[in-house]
Chain A
Amino acid sequence: MKTIKAVVALALALCLLAPPGVYASSHREAPITALDRTADVTDWYAFVSYDNPNNVTFILNVDPLLEPANGPNYFPFDPNVLYEMHVDNDQDGLDDVTFQFRFTTQIRQPNLFTGFVGGIAGIPQITSLDGTGSEGLSLRQTYTVTMVRHGRTVCLNDGKTLFAVPSNVGPETMPDYASLFSQGIYSLDGGVKVWAGTADDPFFIDLGAAFDSLNFRKGVGPVLSAAIDADDTHNYAPDAVGGYNVNSMVLEVPIAWLTADGKIHPATDKRAVIGTYGSTSRPQITVRRSPNPAVSYNLFGNGYQQVNREGNPLINEVIIGTGSKDRFSMDVPKNDAQFANFVLNPVLASVFSSLGVPVPPAPRTDLLLLVQYEAPICPGCGPKDAGPVADLLRLNTGIPPTPVGKQKRLGFLAGDDAGFPNGRRPVDDVFDIAARAVAGILVDATKYGTPLGDGVQTKTEGFNNAFPYVMPANNGRDSSHTGPGQPGCTGQPGGICPE
């Protein structure tokens, strides 16, 4: 959902003019620099693994709207960014278990102009991430996964060199991309699985319509017909993220690693519930360095500052006011009480109201279940267990996964208890769920249950229902995007998306 942020941030991007000539004499002016996109968290997912009720899978996606054809070096992870997955297991909003990803870039063929090449210039096609068949991976990234728990840091690599899966350049360079994708799946000690690389962005939304002041496609949104609302498998409006890639880190770990006492608990037990979020951080930098460099600048040591975070898929984008977004992004969830008013009196609710959609009056305490520990996600939590207002994606690990095929895009709202806002799976239609939550469906499903939605019900490229739960990256040579007037809306006559 942070794709949205990329749009909101456009305004700023336009003003990212770097220094003009500071001295009349020297032309030191920088060109317009880009946003910090490598540290931009696009989406955060946490769910009980579909095939194993004893495991939880986390997905941290960064770097939005990657165009598959945008060579020559495509989109590596940033070696200067610390990527983290955070877990609170005792309702205090603070980290108890943290998983960290750090990337290193190798340039193996410094004379090549492109990151990936194969099948030409005497270099074989890329068929492997390492060894024979990997020669064409000039730009290759390796990574480490560490777990911080009980004050101890453990490297989970299990002695293996983990390679990030590159973007899908095209069939001439990478004749069997599916194989490269699978080679990136690593099974580590303790039943842990990990995958990192460029993948199809699983997020789906009619972004253009949503941000043109909720100007949805005619005959589709913002109020969905019963027939469209009941259809979880066809799109009635263009999926603006269709055909784009994203950089993805996927980690599957035993639930016993995540709970406070190392045990698995039933759904009714508060110890089954975890609060999670994903973040990116960069080394803390001061203009003046301390004489002791370790104090002021310590790459991958302590001196880190958070750049961005995501817990729930709607808070940062549609709830937090534009002027507070940077503050929100750099702060920790435990301090979110300062933003509580955005939740209790969301601007989006008044927008809906102005469109004639009935919404409950503020303060919207019904939305607090997104930012505090309470039923129905934590039925075992009493009033004293609510914890601070904190944007954490809460997951009850005692609720078993819904089998593939029975999952509902509206998740919790449609009786599929293993879906958002109980954690979040790639299939969850978070835009529709969030819109309805803001409109008050949790207060009274009859009175405030307007079936709001954008008409994008599912991912154009489909879903991967097994680890790593993301689809292989779209192919740079042959992929395309969907838009109004174009094919890609299977629910519409002829599959053509409405204007």
Chain B
Amino acid sequence: MKYALALILVAAATFSFAQNDSPNSNGDLSPAQRSVTEAQRLIAEKPGEYNGYNALAIALIRRARETSDPGYYAQAEDAVEQSLKLSPNNFDTKQIQVSILLGKHEFPSALEAAQTLNKQVPDAVMVYGLLTDANMALGNYQDAETSAQWMLNLRPGNLPALIRAAQLRELFGDVDGSYELFEMAFQSTASTETEERAWLLTQMGRLRLVSGNTGAAEKLLQQALAEFLNYPEAMGTLAKVRLLQQRYEEAVALSQQCYKSVPSPQNLYELAEALRLAGRKDEAKKAYADFETRSLVESSAKNNANRELIFYYADYAHQPDKALAVAKQEYSWRHDLYTLDAYAWALHVNGQDAEARKQIEAALAVGIRDAQLFRHAGEIALQAGDREAAERYLKESAELNAMGSEQARITLANLTPGR
């Protein structure tokens, strides 16, 4: 029936338009919009069955991710409420509820809810995926690994498990191993699932980018864009490739396009960065200002752009106290390595380098090999007076030849007389 549903989706794509959601300029509906339409049709046909509401909730979660508009999560919650009225305690619906919590970045509540479901039905494979997601987001990497591994054992090669294992491998520093799993997932994804394929190709491209292989990254991202025209995430990642290639104007154009499709504060920050690097100071200034306004609106919510906001205050706005305040707020509830990195950097720009070092080293201890994190570690060690460690970290960063390497090279050059 999943397949029957897919078929109906294909038909829906051809014949129908959503009622309350406008198609893009090409007149096409996005995959999520099509799912929403289809779910609404299911509900209209059989209003007494919970399935339609579950399908609607899932479609809305998908739409929320497509648009970065958290308003869709509220609508998804309404659909779940209707579904539970028709079929109380339905296990599928409960899993969807956890997915909504994850989408809203309510990771602690999501973890608790997933643990409850896991106790209820210990062999339900997808619950392990929910556990992995929540644990990964909170920085409980050991627990995340255990769940992901059991998922792989219980149903070998299932795509959701492959994707989570791939993400963990990257965090554990095994970029090639991560690539291998994404590639395997890609090979097992039907050619009709263009969005999934584009997403997987984008991940593969991003992994090539973080290991400095811009040529391979570009090829994969172009392939993703061929699978799915103007796929925002592929455009955003390709913009980073262009930055690394110092093709700044192209990077700006891509970032603008990406922000137009998905007007999230995160994408606005990326656009501001690209404009700054392209030397378009006034436009950059305006974009940064807009970013600050917009990200502050959601800063106290869990689903926020606080990581970008921290770096904005630390590196662009030169307001270290604000950077630290936001970083402390994030650190109070999650300890994933990216939060540790941002917190460390905020401490660093406030001159608290001993504590900064503790945090950045905890982040690196997970295993991640990221040029930006190594550079941060290098700068922090340097300011803390450990020249030897600083040199080691900066060299690691420089060798990766990715985002952050250039600045690491500059610091290294100043560090080594005669270079």
Q: A282's closest neighbor in chain B, by CB? A: B157
B169 / chain A contacts, CB cutoff of 8 Å: 287-289
The answer on a CB contact under 8 Å between B191 and A285 is no
Q: Does A17 contact B (CB under 8 A)?
A: yes
Q: Does A148 contact B (CB under 8 A)?
A: no
Given A33-B163, A80-B157, A285-B157, check contact A24 B306 (CB 8 Å): yes
Shortest Cβ distance from residue B323 to the other chain A in the assembled complex, whole angstroms: 14
Most buried by A among B169, B203, B330: B169
The answer on a CB contact under 8 Å between B168 and A287 is yes
B148 / chain A contacts, CB cutoff of 8 Å: 287
In whole angstroms, what is the CA distance A32 to B200 when docked? 12
The answer on a CB contact under 8 Å between A70 and B192 is yes
Q: Does A395 contact B (CB under 8 A)?
A: no
Q: Does A160 contact B (CB under 8 A)?
A: no
Q: Does B113 contact A (CB under 8 A)?
A: no
The answer on a CB contact under 8 Å between B306 and A27 is no
The answer on a CB contact under 8 Å between B7 and A287 is no
Segment 19-76 of A: residues with Cβ below 8 Å from B: 19-39, 64-65, 67, 70, 72-75
The answer on a CB contact under 8 Å between A289 and B156 is no
Q: Does B217 contact A (CB under 8 A)?
A: no
Flag the segment in A190-198, A319-327, A383-391, A452-460 that touches B.
A319-327
The answer on a CB contact under 8 Å between A14 and B133 is no
A28 / chain B contacts, CB cutoff of 8 Å: 167, 203
Q: Contact string, B44-58, partner A, CB cutoff 8 A, digits 1/0?
A: 000000010011001
Interface of B is mostly: helix
In whole angstroms, what is the CA distance A297 to B152 when docked? 13
The answer on a CB contact under 8 Å between B157 and A14 is no
A-B contact count (CB 8 A): 217
Shortest Cβ distance from residue B66 to the other chain A in the assembled complex, whole angstroms: 8
Q: Does B264 contact A (CB under 8 A)?
A: yes
Given A25-B307, A27-B233, A329-B155, check contact A15 B136 (CB 8 Å): no
In whole angstroms, what is the CA distance A28 to B61 when docked? 14
Q: Does B193 contact A (CB under 8 A)?
A: yes
Pick the contact of B159 from A33, A81, A284, A324 — CB < 8 Å?
A33
Flag the segment in A4-12, A168-176, A364-372, A435-443 that touches B.
A4-12
The answer on a CB contact under 8 Å between B156 and A282 is yes
Q: A13's closest neighbor in chain B, by CB? A: B2
Q: Does A235 contact B (CB under 8 A)?
A: no
Given A64-B3, A282-B157, check contact A19 B190 (CB 8 Å): no
The answer on a CB contact under 8 Å between B58 and A24 is no
Q: Does B294 contact A (CB under 8 A)?
A: no
Q: Does B331 contact A (CB under 8 A)?
A: no
Q: Contact string, B168-207, partner A, CB cutoff 8 A, digits 1/0?
A: 1100101001001100110111111101100110010000
B277 / chain A contacts, CB cutoff of 8 Å: none
Q: B104's closest neighbor in chain A, by CB? A: A20
B330 / chain A contacts, CB cutoff of 8 Å: 24
The answer on a CB contact under 8 Å between A326 and B155 is yes
Given A14-B92, A25-B266, check contact A70 B189 (CB 8 Å): no
Interface residues of B (CB under 8 A from A): 1-5, 7, 10, 31, 51, 54-55, 58, 61-62, 65, 68, 91-92, 95-96, 99, 102-103, 105, 121, 123-126, 129, 132-133, 136-137, 145, 148-149, 152-160, 162-165, 167-169, 172, 174, 177, 180-181, 184-185, 187-193, 195-196, 199-200, 203, 232-233, 236, 262, 264, 266-267, 303-308, 330, 336, 338-339
Chosen A-B contacts, 20 in total, with CB atoms closer than 8 Å, are A6-B1, A10-B1, A17-B96, A22-B167, A24-B307, A27-B267, A32-B62, A33-B189, A34-B159, A34-B196, A37-B190, A38-B188, A65-B4, A67-B7, A80-B188, A286-B152, A288-B172, A305-B156, A307-B158, A329-B155
8 additional A-B pairs beyond A25-B308, A288-B145, beta carbons within 8 Å, are A6-B1, A10-B2, A14-B2, A14-B51, A17-B61, A29-B65, A80-B188, A287-B145
What 4 A-B pairs come out closest when comparing CB atoms?
Answer: A282-B157, A73-B191, A305-B156, A25-B307
